[in-house]
Structure 1
Amino acid sequence: MEKCWDSNPNNRPNLESILTILNEKQYNNDKEFEVAEKYFKENKETKQITTHPQAIYASRLLDPYTKDFSNFFIKENLLKY
């Protein structure tokens, strides 16, 4: 990209060079995805995913977190905050 900004137009790449570079990058990118996909498929069933027991991924009662809220919403207490 920086070559395209060169103040001397003769040092800038031509369209064919740019297309070659872009095609190489696309090819390399595709290869990386193929390797990652292959790795994922090979290792998908071998690993057991464990979650932290306090992790929240679904609805859960908030009682432990909200038990003190009842005092907070009393009119007299609202004036304190």
Structure 2
Amino acid sequence: NRPNAAEVVKFIELFNSDENEEFIDKVEEYRIVNLLPAENNQLNTHSQAYHTSRLLNSFTTEWREGLDCAIED
């Protein structure tokens, strides 16, 4: 059975709730933060470093503790 106009409107309104708008705003904010150029998100690197690495996402932030230590021979 095809829905009538009132049922279609109710269905569409499900996607326009305030909760969805809050979620979309948070997702958009996360997207913008994570699209910043790499030079703004880098840890301090050696001036002669050829390759640099970066954290993949917010789940790896706890691993930062050992990233800025030096290994000396």
Calculate the TM-score normalised by the size of structure 2. 0.35
Instruction: Tell me which structure has the larger Cα radius of gyration.
Output: 1
Q: Highest relative contact order (Cα 8 Å, sep 6+), 1 or 2? A: 2
Calculate the TM-score normalised by the size of structure 1. 0.32
